[in-house]
Amino acid sequence: DAKTTQPNSMESNEEEPVHLPCNHSTISGTDYIHWYRQLPSQGPEYVIHGLTSNVNNRMASLAIAEDRKSSTLILHRATLRDAAVYYCILRDNYGQNFVFGPGTRLSVLP
Amino acid sequence: DGGITQSPKYLFRKEGQNVTLSCEQNLNHDAMYWYRQDPGQGLRLIYYSQIVNDFQKGDIAEGYSVSREKKESFPLTVTSAQKNPTAFYLCASTAWGGSGTEAFFGQGTRLTVV
């Protein structure tokens, strides 16, 4: 599985948008971009995933660069419950395992 | 409700003992995974299984063993050969069929060697 690079930590104010970046310069044409988040002492939970086009769901939006070498997870209005570690992961059609990096620790300030 | 269940939530083990962590899913998922997480670190893959009676080693399989006798169950045994077993263990499952499917995770088992 290809590697991703994320900032170690980010900070946001409550009710403001948050843009979490992810670089994946070695992404292949069949790799999907997945985002998960993990609250303290809990298992990761799915946030969103996409292949080429931008994606929206009730939790977040995923903006994918045209060359697919980077992507951004967008939380439109951060809440205190969004404070978590966010993982950006690439997954291809052949590999059945998810490879997790250290992720980005998001702090949300009231 | 469908989901993935890990038990127990907390587990204490004496040095030299084997211990088995349970993972059950009722999502009809084909693939199941075990990860280990140390404090402040990401998840590292121990074992994964794509179908019943078949499993593959991940990055840190030494000192661990698994079985996949039923589609719903993927227990992990931490053996006495694992030198530093104290960690947070997470089980996950996905449907078969490629990279567009999301993974579901259990709530984890925190293992402490005493």
Q: Do A34 and B98 touch (CB under 8 A)?
A: no
More confident residue, B61 or B103: B61
Q: What is the pLDDT of residues A47-106, one digit of tens each?
A: 999 999 999 999 899 999 999 999 999 999 999 999 999 999 988 766 566 778 889 999
pLDDT confidence of residue B76: 98
The predicted model gives B22-48 an average pLDDT of 92
Which residue from B minimizes the CA distance to A85?
B42
B64: phi > 0 → left, psi -120 to 50 → alpha, else beta; which?
Answer: beta
Interface test with B, best of A53, A62, A98, A104 (most B CBs within 10 A): A98
Rounded to 10 degrees, the C-alpha dihedral B90/B91/B94/B98 comes to 60
